């Protein structure tokens, strides 16, 4: 269904021929903050596809955006042979599957994928889409910062009004020190100097939190491999396929702010899907993804794994309720 805004969609900024794709279920507070930031950018995406079942259409109409809402249970048609792909209850809510659905329904050639817990900087859509037009055969990723606490109701209202500034969000956020980050000044655009961009051969640095790609390259990659289930490795697999196809990968200084939510360190709540996905990844690429987490699981006696092995990971036991309790981090900015 298409949700028409109740406000004037041309009131603030021009539209650009970009489709933004996000997917969520049960995280509508995050979703509404994301939409607020998109509606108040220096330019607006011409289309925002939300693969989601439970967002209130009346609330979505409050945003001056062209929103297309697709239920997560929709069938996905393979673009190669126009056959409906089989789904199982296990995969129909998987993020990779839902991203593929969004891409298949997109109107425009420029696709920007955002996780639902993103808030985009005002120049994000304008700068990232311009870079992709400059490097149309490439895969581009934005620069995440991590909010150290959730936005209050008052702050969400300010965001919806376009009154929550970059400086304010920068004070509330941090970089992930384990990732390759730009200098903060490189994320500031002016009329004479756009935000920074650099090519990298480290495809393992790709994270699907915030990225841009043309439809042709997305289809060349084959979208996200839906054999991955739940959480972990599907984005690294996507990037490795891009590398195999000689699709260049660029990091950009275009900012998104990741909305804070509780995490588990290590992610014991995703133990089973991480094992399934790690085994799937090794079968394809003959190397192990998520090595840090696998090492922690191994040290806890949860799995039988070493980085040198070529056989599948074996689950030895489930984590205890005490171990899960100790891993829970309510206030962490990132995993």
What DSSP line would sit under 259-325, residue for residue?
PP--EESS-GGGHHHHHHHHHHHHHHHSS-SSHHHHHHHHHTTSEE--TT--SPPEE--PPPHHHHH
**Looking at residue 80, what is its pLDDT?**
40
Provide the percentage of residues in the chain whose pLDDT is more than 90: 80
pLDDT digit string, tens, across residues 263-313: 999 999 999 999 999 999 999 999 999 999 999 999 999 999 999 999 999
Per-residue confidence band for 86, with pLDDT thresholds at 50, 70 and 90: very low
Provide the percentage of residues in the chain whose pLDDT is more than 70: 91
pLDDT digit string, tens, across residues 42-56: 999 999 999 987 888
Per-residue confidence band for 129, with pLDDT thresholds at 50, 70 and 90: very high
Q: Quick check: 30 pLDDT over 50?
A: yes
Between 85 and 309, residue with greater pLDDT: 309
Q: How far is 133 from 306, CA to CA, in rounded Å?
A: 43
Phi, psi of 294 (to 5 degrees): -60, -40
In Å, what is the CA distance from 100 to each residue of 32, 116, 164? 22, 15, 32
User: Does the pTM of the predicted model rise above 0.75?
Assistant: yes
**Looking at residue 91, what is its pLDDT?**
34
Q: How far is 2 from 65, CA to CA, in rounded Å?
A: 10
**Looking at residue 310, what is its pLDDT?**
96
β-sheet bridge partners, residue 146: 174, 258
Per-domain residue ranges of the chain: 2-261, 268-329
Per-residue confidence band for 65, with pLDDT thresholds at 50, 70 and 90: very high
Per-residue confidence band for 23, with pLDDT thresholds at 50, 70 and 90: very high
Q: Quick check: 85 pLDDT over 50?
A: no
Q: Where are the alpha helices (DSSP H) in the chain?
A: 28-39, 57-60, 95-105, 124-134, 153-161, 166-171, 215-221, 234-244, 271-285, 291-299, 321-327
Q: Quick check: 128 pLDDT over 80?
A: yes
CATH 3.90.550.10, domain 2-261, yes or no: yes
**Looking at residue 48, what is its pLDDT?**
98
7-21, 179-193, 205-219, 275-289, range with the lowest pLDDT = 7-21
For residues 89-115, give the mean pLDDT: 85
Whether cis (ω within 30° of 0) applies to the bond prior to 266 is yes
Residue 229's closest CA among 95, 74, 75? Answer: 95
For residues 165-180, give the mean pLDDT: 94
For residues 139-151, give the mean pLDDT: 97
The burial class, CB within 10 Å (0-12 / 13-18 / 19+), for 1 is: exposed
For residues 1-19, give the mean pLDDT: 71
β-sheet bridge partners, residue 68: 2, 49
Q: How far is 108 from 201, CA to CA, in rounded Å?
A: 28
């Amino acid at each position: 269904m298409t949700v028409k805004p109740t406000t004037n969609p041309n009131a603030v900024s021009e539209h650009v021929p970009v489709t933004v794709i996000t997917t969520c279920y049960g995280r509508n507070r995050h979703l509404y903050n994301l939409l607020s930031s998109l509606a108040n950018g220096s330019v607006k995406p011409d289309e925002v596809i939300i693969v989601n079942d439970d967002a209130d259409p009346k609330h979505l109409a409050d945003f001056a955006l062209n929103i297309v809402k697709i239920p997560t249970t929709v069938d996905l048609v393979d673009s190669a042979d126009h056959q409906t792909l089989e789904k199982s209850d296990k995969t129909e809510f998987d993020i990779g599957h839902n991203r593929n659905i969004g891409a298949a329904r997109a109107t425009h050639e420029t696709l920007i994928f955002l996780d639902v817990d993103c808030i985009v900087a005002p120049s994000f859509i304008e700068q990232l889409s311009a870079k992709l037009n400059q490097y149309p055969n490439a895969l581009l990723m934005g620069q995440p910062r991590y909010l150290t606490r959730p936005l209050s109701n008052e702050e969400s209202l300010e965001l919806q009004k376009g009154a929550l500034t970059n400086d304010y969000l920068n004070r509330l956020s941090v970089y992930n020190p384990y990732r390759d980050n730009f200098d903060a000044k490189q994320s500031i655009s002016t009329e004479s100097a756009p935000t920074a961009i650099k090519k990298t051969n480290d495809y393992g640095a790709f994270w699907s939190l915030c990225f841009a790609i043309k439809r042709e390259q997305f289809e060349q990659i084959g979208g996200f491999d839906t054999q991955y289930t739940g959480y972990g490795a599907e984005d690294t697999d996507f990037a490795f396929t891009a590398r195999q196809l000689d699709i260049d990968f660029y990091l950009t200084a275009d900012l998104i702010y990741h909305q804070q939510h509780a995490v588990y360190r290590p992610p014991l709540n995703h133990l089973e899907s991480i094992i399934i996905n790690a085994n799937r990844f090794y079968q394809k690429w003959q190397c192990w993804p998520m090595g840090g987490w696998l090492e922690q699981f191994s040290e806890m006696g949860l799995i039988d794994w070493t980085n040198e092995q070529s056989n599948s990971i074996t689950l030895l036991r489930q984590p205890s309720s005490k171990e899960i309790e100790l891993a829970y981090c309510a206030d962490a900015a990132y995993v």
